[in-house]
């Protein structure tokens, strides 16, 4: 099995995670979706130097991991390809912003360093929140929830197909890299001269397959409604849960938990 095939199997296993049952899994998909979006927005809204304010936001993913029976390690393992990319975003900040903002003992902490940490943390939090949403909600239920929220049909179908398309594309990528390496033994990666044709082929092949897949959906009665998804009615209870989540995020956003705790301890 090459690296790609491994990545696909793992991607497919998201479906397996999503099929488990737990208190989080049984929440209405719309609740999880709206909560995740709200969480991401609140997380991104922190000031770039506000590391102390941002850190308590970790409580939400921790809570979800706790009540969804999903292992934190699974999350980091599956995200191991994306995480470094997200973390790399703020990597150069320390070189640009060298004003010293505070001192830890003798150690000067520059604004660049602080903003790098904040950015990285924001990235990791947002990734975790998205991962938790996908790992606790089957894609079809998520789409059904979007329809309940009156998101346009076309958009929802697009999301569904994109999700499936990613699977097909990684699948084709695996086949093609195998074929390439069989004819270029001992070569690491794919030579830059072949990138153009390789990418072109990849797109064509995965588009052909995605087309067939979509045909298969149409031929079995798909008409942009999600009757087939296991959809629950949206109840008052669900609205209350959403309000509670958003309320908690806003509290976390406005109250500097760290400071409050610090003050209590000092006292």
Partner 1 sequence: MIEFQHVSFAYEKDRPVLRDLSFRIEKGEAVGLIGANGAGKSSVMKLLLGLLQGEGKILVDGVEVRKDTLAEIRRKLGFVLQNSDNQMFMPTVYEDMMFAPLNYMLTREEAEARVDAVLARLHLEHLKHRYNHKISGGEKRMAAIATVLAMEPEAVLMDEPTSALDPYNRRIVINTIRELDQTRIITSHDLDMILDTCDRVILLSEGRIVADGKASVLLRDRELLERNRMELPLSIMGRPE
Contact positions vs partner 1 (CB under 8 A): 8-9, 12, 15-16, 18-19, 138, 140, 164, 171, 209, 212-213, 215-223, 225, 227-228
Quote the least distance from Cβ 16 to partner 1, whole Å.
Answer: 6
In this complex, which beta carbon is closest to partner 1, that of residue 166 or of residue 190?
Answer: 166
Quote the least distance from Cβ 15 to partner 1, whole Å.
Answer: 4
Length, in residues, of the chain? 267
In this complex, which beta carbon is closest to partner 1, that of residue 176 or of residue 245?
Answer: 176
d(CA 178, CA 114): 43
| Spatial CB neighbours of 112, under 8 Å, sequence gap ≥ 6 | 93, 94, 95, 96, 97, 98
Residue 215 has φ and ψ, to the nearest 5°, of: -60, -45
Quote the least distance from Cβ 215 to partner 1, whole Å.
Answer: 5
In this complex, which beta carbon is closest to partner 1, that of residue 93 or of residue 157?
Answer: 157
Instruction: Output the CA–CA distances (angstroms, integers) from residue 82 to 33, 36, 93, 127, 205, in the order listed.
Output: 21, 19, 20, 9, 24
Instruction: Look up tokens 């409050």; give the residue.
Output: 260
In this complex, which beta carbon is closest to partner 1, that of residue 170 or of residue 177?
Answer: 170
Quote the least distance from Cβ 225 to partner 1, whole Å.
Answer: 8
Residue 135 tokens read as 């790992």
């Amino acid at each position: 099995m090459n690296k790609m095939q491994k990545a696909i199997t793992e991607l497919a296993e998201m479906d397996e995670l999503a099929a488990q049952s737990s208190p989080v899994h049984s929440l209405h998909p719309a609740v999880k979706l709206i909560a995740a979006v709200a969480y991401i927005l609140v997380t991104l809204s922190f000031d770039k130097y506000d590391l102390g304010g941002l850190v308590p936001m970790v409580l939400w993913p921790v809570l979800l991991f706790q009540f969804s029976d999903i292992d934190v390690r699974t999350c980091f393992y599956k995200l191991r390809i994306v995480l470094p990319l997200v973390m790399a975003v703020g990597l150069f900040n320390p070189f640009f912003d060298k004003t010293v903002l505070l001192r830890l003992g003798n150690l000067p902490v520059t604004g660049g360093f602080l903003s790098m940490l904040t950015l990285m943390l924001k990235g990791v939090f947002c990734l975790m929140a998205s991962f938790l949403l996908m790992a606790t909600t089957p894609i079809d239920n998520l789409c059904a929830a979007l329809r309940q929220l009156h998101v346009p049909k076309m958009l929802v179908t697009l999301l569904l197909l994109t999700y499936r398309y990613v699977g097909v594309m990684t699948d084709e990528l695996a086949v093609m890299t195998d074929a390439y390496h069989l004819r270029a033994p001992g070569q690491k990666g794919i030579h830059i001269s072949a990138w153009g044709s390789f990418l072109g082929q990849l797109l064509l092949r995965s588009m052909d397959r995605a087309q067939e897949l979509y045909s298969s959906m149409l031929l079995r009665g798909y008409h942009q409604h999600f009757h087939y998804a296991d959809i629950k009615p949206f109840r008052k209870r669900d609205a209350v849960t959403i309000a509670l989540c958003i309320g908690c995020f806003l509290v976390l956003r406005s109250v500097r938990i760290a400071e409050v705790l610090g003050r209590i301890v000092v006292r």
